[in-house]
Amino acid sequence: MPQVKIFSATATTYLAEKIATAYGLPLGDLSVSRFSDGEIGVHFNESVRGAEVFIVQSTIPPADNLMELMLMIDAAKRASAHKVIVVMPYFGYARQDRKDRPRVSIGAKVVANAIQSVGADRLMTCDLHAGQIQGFFDIPVDHLDGSAIFVPYLRSLNLGNDLIFASPDVGGVVRTRSFAKNFGAEMVVCDKHRKRANEIASMQVIGDVEGMDVVLVDDMVDTAGTMTKAAELLKDKGAKTVRAVATHPLLSGPAYERIENSVLEELVVSDTIRLKQPCSKIKVLSFAELFARAINNVVTHESISSLFI
């Protein structure tokens, strides 16, 4: 069996260290340097010849994080790695998954092409904005499900028979229904209409939440406009409590202020992206153990779906 080595690019070192520890290996030795003009250079400080190399990097902005990842893949391939597996906890550009109007790019496909073109043999990611992005790849994609860490936490809250799940938009219905099914609970939908990106024109609740403990479910939270507006609307409709679950905490612009001042009991997120600042209403759960188990199952050719709830 080939030797396993886990390396981290700079954007996700905090998570890669936890993944490597959970797997039982030290993080690999890698140097990332920059020329005076900002150009990136990478160098493996140890041999990867014949090894199964796992590279951990979330492709959050800026685009340098994606470029650094591609340089690492290229360096590993040129150093005769047996296989290069990209562990991308957060897949950037996933919101650009289709042509929703004329003359626009499909960013998710561009990223998929880039990762494959430099020689990645496999991709491991979590809670893609749209599951069909897996079809942009011609290599195996292991798409982990965030419910594996969120469902046990929600169970620990003992919310009982008053629990109901809500999707903050129509696009998240499948994800929300999956959560509801795990609890044998009902779900409602917050139907929103946008004028432009990150700006909501109107929103309405489809379903009854009177006297219920509502859990909003989403794959990511960016400016938190949708999440906090949906929470306020649900409270106006008679919800007893409203909390939210979102895998990827992008949290840009006024997000932290909006969450702190919102009616949300709490926002539960993962560590696929590091928080920029503390917030009393945000709870972070770690994906490290789940990714470590997934890496083990890839190495030993065991089922990945066994890790799902």
Cα(51)–Cα(275) distance, rounded to whole angstroms? 33
Contacts of 40 (CB under 8 A, 6+ apart): 32, 33, 34, 64, 67, 68, 71
How far is residue 147's CA from residue 180's CA, in Å, rounded to a whole number?
11
Cis peptide before 249 (omega within 30 of 0): no
| DSSP category for residue 309 | -
Collapse the DSSP code of 60 into the 3-class scheme (helix H, G, I; strand E, B; otherwise coil) and give the result.
coil
How far apart, in whole angstroms, are the C-alpha atoms of residue 17 and residue 45?
Answer: 17
Determine whether 192 is an active site residue. yes
And the tokens for 77?
A: 């391939």
Q: Residue 249: what are its φ and ψ, rounded to 5°?
A: -85, 80
CB 276 within 8 A of CB 257: no
| Residue 153 identity | Y
> In the 3-class helix/strand/coil scheme, how is 168-212 assigned residue by residue?
CCHHHHHHHHHHHHHHCCEEEEEEEEEEECCEEEEEEEECCCCCC
Question: Rounded to an integer, what distance in angstroms lies between the CA atom of residue 195 and that of residue 197?
Answer: 7
- Cα 188 to Cα 171: distance, rounded to the nearest angstrom: 13
- The one catalytic residue in 18, 83, 192, 229 is 192
In the chain the first and final C-alpha atoms are separated, in Å, by 29
Which residues carry out catalysis? 192
